[in-house]
Structure 1
Amino acid sequence: MSKLKIGMVVGSNSKQSINRKLAEGLARLIQDQADVTFIDIGHLPLYNRDFDGTPEFKPFDELKAQVRNCDGLLFITPEHNRSIPAPLKNALDGLSRPYGQAAWNGIPAAVIGTSPGGPATSMAQQHLRNVFVFLDMPTMQQPEGFVRWSDDLIDAQGNIGPASHDFLNKYMSHFLAWVRKHPKQ
């Protein structure tokens, strides 16, 4: 069986993002089973429907091609004010336009995230799942990935630390199985 093509979308633009660190650690967990591409959303302009069909829409079109090349998508997101970070919502909206030409349709997805707080990124993940329903993305429901950040979550080499390794390895195994079970349409 050929390797799956997995796109990882990090909901934060911060260079110090703990969610980016988590995403890189998760990518290492599956590097023998999947080819991982990071879908960079940081350069996108603020979406405006007046862009549809104009040169200003080009950054969205370029990302659409990258997304459509994926067998599955993993969204790794922080929580901003109990919801989805603005750059992530902007990317979801822009790549769903113009109407009828969404890049997301039918691609299996999962969501995970980390935060120092107790509930981690649970509210952002729930809001993101609601958006996925509209975008027609079959979304893995279990296991959920509410990961509390600690300094030992990721080791100095960028690997998942021992305290979380088994859970996150299982999470990623479930995600890859989900993608295989729900081939994109």
Structure 2
Amino acid sequence: MDVIKILGIVGSLRKGSYNRFALKAAQELVPGGAVLNLIELHGIPVFDQDNEMTLPASVLEFKRRILDADAILFATPEYNYSLPGGLKNAIDWASRPYGESAWLGKPAAVMGASTGSLGTARAQYHLRQILVTLDMPVVNQPEVMIGNAAQRFDQNGRLTDAPTRQHIQKLLGALVQLAKTAR
């Protein structure tokens, strides 16, 4: 059987992002028969519907990477009780123009890390609402909300918290299963 290709979308632009670190941990935990590659959101301009018929090169590459993947793993921080504008912007670009969404039917999973105690719960729920309108099947359990992230990663960005690593591993297993059923 072919390898399941998962695209991990880093929802933060910050170099020292705990969400980037969480996706790097996920790369170590991906089940056999699957691979997880990451993509950053740097260089994607603010969505402008006037330009959707001639997509910028960075958006075309983003859409190409989504279309090439069998599944998507979003890692979102939480800004002001929701997902960051850069992530929402990239999602909007990849859904356009109308009728040419790269997201349609693409299996997905969501996780997030935050220095706060709720671990991006509100951002993840908002992201899940968006994924409904994009018609993406989403892993419901386990929910991976990494709260108090500063205590769960070491100074080099390595996820040291064993229960969190186990939750990510279970999430990846569920995403791989969802991707297999979607084929």
Query: What CA distance in whole angstroms lies between the structure 2 residues aligned with 1:103 and 1:140?
Result: 18
Q: SS where residue 91 of structure 1 aligns?
A: helix
What residue ranges of structure 1 are gaps of 5+ in the alignment?
none
Alpha-carbon distance change, 154 to 2 in structure 1, aligned in 2, over 3 angstroms? farther
- Aligned residue number for residue 89 of structure 2: 90
Q: Which residue of 1 aligns with 2:29?
A: 29
Q: What is the aligned partner in structure 2 of residue 170 from structure 1?
A: 170
Cα deviations by residue, 1:69-95 (Å, 9 ceiling, x for unpaired): 000000000001001101100000011
Kept after mapping to 1: 8 A contact 2:76/2:113: yes
Distance 1:152 1:113 in 2: 15
Q: Following TM superposition, where does structure 1 have runs of at least 4 consecutive aligned residues deviating by more than 4 angstroms?
A: none
Partners of 2:157 and 2:85 in 1: CA distance: 30
Per the normalisation by structure 1, the TM-score is 0.90
Deviations 1:156-182 (A, max 9, x none): 583553242322222222222222222
**2:14 alignment counterpart:** 14
Normalising by structure 2, we get a TM-score of 0.91
RMSD (Å) for aligned C-alpha atoms: 1.8
One-letter amino acid matched to 1:38: L
1:70 corresponds to: 69
Return the alpha-carbon distance in structure 2 between the equivalents of residues 182 and 111 of structure 1.
17
- Contact 2:94/2:103, CA 8 A, preserved across alignment: yes
State yes or no: 1:118 paired with 2:124.
no
Measured at CA, do residues 107 and 160 of structure 1 come closer, stay the same or move farther in structure 2, by a change above 3 Å? Answer: farther
Partner Cα separation in structure 2 for residue 107 and residue 58 of structure 1:
22
CA distance in 2, matches of 1:142, 1:149: 21
User: Greater shift after overlay, 17-26 or 35-44?
Assistant: 35-44
Flag the 1:74–1:160 CA change in 2: closer, same or farther, 3 A.
farther
Report how many aligned residue pairs link the two structures: 182
Separation (CA, whole Å) in 2 of partners of 1:14 and 1:150? 15
**Could you say what secondary structure the match of 1:65 adopts?**
helix
Say if 1:160 and 1:108 are closer, same or farther in 2 by CA, change over 3 A: farther
Give the CA deviation at 1:31: 6.5
- CA distance, structure 1, for counterparts of residue 24 and residue 131 of structure 2: 23
Conserved 8 A contact 2:104-2:135: yes
The answer to whether 1:80 aligns with 2:89 is no
- 1:154 CA displacement: 3.4
Kindly indicate whether the alpha-carbon contact (under 8 Å) linking 2:74 and 2:110 is maintained by their aligned counterparts in 1. yes
Quickly say closer, same or farther: Cα 1:82–1:157, change in 2 above 3 A.
Answer: closer
